[in-house]
Amino acid sequence: MQADATRFGTIFKTLKSASGSVALFLAIPALLYIFNASESFATISAGVAVFLFGMRFMEAGFQAFTGGMLENILKACTTGRIRSLLFGVVSTTIMQSSSLVSVITISFLSAGLINLAAGIGIVFGANLGTTTGAWLIAAFGLKVKISAYAMPMLALGIILVFLPGKKAKGAGDILAGLGFIFLGIAFMKDGFDAFSQGFDLTQIQVEGLQGILLFVLFGALATVIMQSSHATLVLILTALAAGQIDFQAAIALSIGANVGTTITAIIGALSANIQGKRLAVAHLFFNVVTGTIIIATIEPTLVVVETLSDFLGFSDTDATLKLALFHTLFNSLGVLLLTPLIPAMIPYLKRLMPVPRTPGLQPMYLTAATEAFPETLNTAMVQELARLYDNAIEIMAHGLHFHRRILFSHTLLHDAIKTSNDLITIDLDDQYAQRVESLSSAILETITRNVTRHGGDLEHLRAYQAACRSIVTCVKETKHLRPNLTQYIHHKNPYIRDKYNHLRVSIGDTIRAIDIIRNEPETTRETLGLEAIRVKFMQDDASASGELEAMIRDGKITARMGMSLLNDLRYTQSIIWALIDIARILFGETEEHHTDAERMLNLNEDDLSRLARGKS
């Protein structure tokens, strides 16, 4: 069944990529023909392309600042619905990209740093935040020759990009991105000016509700194609300024742009976890509900916009400012109506999209045949547990923000994280359910079944049971450790940052040491040396040495940070201790008298403490 599903998935993916290639193959000659036929269309398209290019630059630039500052702000600003909403408004206003804010929100939701209610609040706020872009473009972008600003921005941005340092490069990307966005707007404006002289879009307008729905569809399609509601909004504003469309059509197009951006988010959420999908649906719900209300009340809405425009002193001919006003009213209405409903939406979304119940990883080596004899059972059990361990290590590595190529490289981890220290998005709950829970349950079930059958081998089976439980513990403790780790490994406070990086490096070093032992020939392999990791950890333990208290007393870290660190030290210790136990059972000696011998030489807690105190 599972194999069929995988095969079907592969065929579907191949067909999807093939159809994409065919569409691209057909679209390129068609576009080339249109570019040749209409110079103004080519200019508009170039404007859209440069605008999107600028957006990509800006997104890349902001990502350079996502390693700490943004995360800390996010965590502090999302306690409560109103705060989340305001955060969405402010961050989108600053970044001028609701897509980037949505993507970051989805990644933090997946990381468990924020809850779904906060995520929905941010996305609703982001909708409101995009309206500031409309105001800026309507007020300045189409009246001032903004291409004049674009050039110095581009020049300065590119200089910064070539400077050393991640932050300087990020700032350069943002500045160059803004430059490209301004340049794109200028191109689009020129294109529409030329276009308006030869062709009149108003001629193809359809009257009534049908016409409105047609433009809503156009707006949504344009946004899906351009992957940016901002770009669509600029197109609408420029077309409106050039007199290519009337105000009602512009309103319908802007509603469509809002709906279209949710489709982009839904496509984006297809690869996200269930929380990301729920967020995308909440986003769609916001725009569809608000859009439907506006379409149903289009006449009174136009009256409200006209009245408010008069009140604000907009001239009758200034349709672009009126559209910016409408866009703000549209999104404000959505926020006012739907924000109080967020708590009610969450259970509904959870019912609508429950956590998928997938069969998860199943045993590969433990079969009825291998269970028949104690010897084959032991071999299969070790192989199955090693498989479970490998899955757990992969989840843990990503949970601790380590890429496996770094974790298993020959570079010292402390040095490696200085060059590759980006945050990794992973849904630990989902990964645990998929790759650990079902397999570990099956292993434990097999052990329980065989304890009575192969009573003579009880000792081995008990050891495997302990190893299995320790693997589960490692993944669970990593889940507990991850939120604070994510928050602090890029924190501006160097003391807490170092401590948290030290915690994950300690776990990473243990995983590495085990991997080395695992690959050693049996003649030289011994797991007793792993005790050195325990001794080193005990020596470094800031809580035991009083270092933690001193750090709080000296104001180097806050009491809250100290409390988090104290808890996380215990989680880290538990993970390291469990990893060593697992290594001994799975990768140490297998013959009974050898395991007995190793057990005899084991260092007990007193021995370990004595060695740890022997620090010079």
Partner 1 sequence: MKTRKIIDLLDSLLGGERTKRSRRELAVEELLHKLEKKENKLLERLEHIDTDDEDEKRHLEIKLQVNRAHQDKARQAISSWSGTKPEAETETEAQ
Residues near 399 by Cβ (< 8 Å), separated by ≥ 6?
Answer: 426, 428, 475, 478, 479, 481, 482
Is 531 near partner 1 (CB under 8 A)?
Answer: yes
Contact, 120 vs 345, CB < 8 A? yes
Least distance (Å) from partner 1 to the CB of residue 543?
A: 19
| Cα 404 from chain centroid (whole Å) | 18
Least distance (Å) from partner 1 to the CB of residue 109?
A: 38
Which one of residues 536, 545, 547, 590 is an interface residue with partner 1 (CB under 8 A)? 536
Closest to partner 1 by CB, 283 or 534: 534
* One-character DSSP codes across 203-255: GGPPPHHHHHHHHHHHHHHHHHHHT-HHHHHHHHHHHHHTTSS-HHHHHHHHH
Is 519 near partner 1 (CB under 8 A)?
Answer: no
Which one of residues 526, 541, 545, 552 is an interface residue with partner 1 (CB under 8 A)? 526
Tell me the window of 84-92, 98-106, 542-550, 585-593 that interacts with partner 1 (CB under 8 A).
Answer: 585-593
Is 614 near partner 1 (CB under 8 A)?
Answer: yes
Task: Bin 131: left if φ > 0, else alpha if -120 < ψ < 50, else beta.
Answer: alpha
* One-character DSSP codes across 254-303: HHHHHHHHHHHHHHHHTTS-HHHHHHHHHHHHHHHHHHHHHHHTHHHHHH
Which one of residues 535, 542, 557, 575 is an interface residue with partner 1 (CB under 8 A)? 535
Joined tokens for residue 335:
């926020």
Is 520 near partner 1 (CB under 8 A)?
Answer: no
Least distance (Å) from partner 1 to the CB of residue 516?
A: 12
Least distance (Å) from partner 1 to the CB of residue 412?
A: 8
Report how far apart, in Å, the C-alpha atoms of 356 and of each of 263, 277, 359, 457 are. 22, 12, 10, 38
Counts of helices then strands in the chain (DSSP H, E): 29, 0
* One-character DSSP codes across 150-214: HHHHHHHHHHHHTSSSHHHHHHHHHHHHHHHHHHHHHHHHHHHHHHHHH--GGGGPPPHHHHHHH
Is 456 near partner 1 (CB under 8 A)?
Answer: no
What track of x and - describes contact with partner 1 for positions 405 through 444 (by CB under 8 A)?
A: -------x-x------------------------------
Is 512 near partner 1 (CB under 8 A)?
Answer: no
Site residues for partner 1, 236-265, by CB under 8 A, read none
Least distance (Å) from partner 1 to the CB of residue 526?
A: 5
Within 13 Å and on the Cβ side, how many CA atoms surround 541? Answer: 23
Count other Cβ atoms within 10 Å, centred on residue 328: 18
Of 414, 229, 425, 461, the C-alpha closest to 330 is 229
Tell me the window of 24-32, 345-353, 528-536, 541-549 that interacts with partner 1 (CB under 8 A).
Answer: 528-536
Least distance (Å) from partner 1 to the CB of residue 374?
A: 18
What track of x and - describes contact with partner 1 for positions 293 through 332 (by CB under 8 A)?
A: ----------------------------------------
Is 40 near partner 1 (CB under 8 A)?
Answer: no
Which one of residues 529, 568, 571, 579 is an interface residue with partner 1 (CB under 8 A)? 529
Least distance (Å) from partner 1 to the CB of residue 422?
A: 24
CA distance 219 to 116: 28
Say how many residues touch partner 1, by CB under 8 A.
Answer: 27
Is 404 near partner 1 (CB under 8 A)?
Answer: no
Is 369 near partner 1 (CB under 8 A)?
Answer: no
Q: Which residues bind partner 1 (CB under 8 A)?
A: 412, 414, 522-524, 526, 528-529, 531-532, 535-536, 539, 589, 591, 593-594, 596-598, 600-601, 603, 607, 611, 614, 616
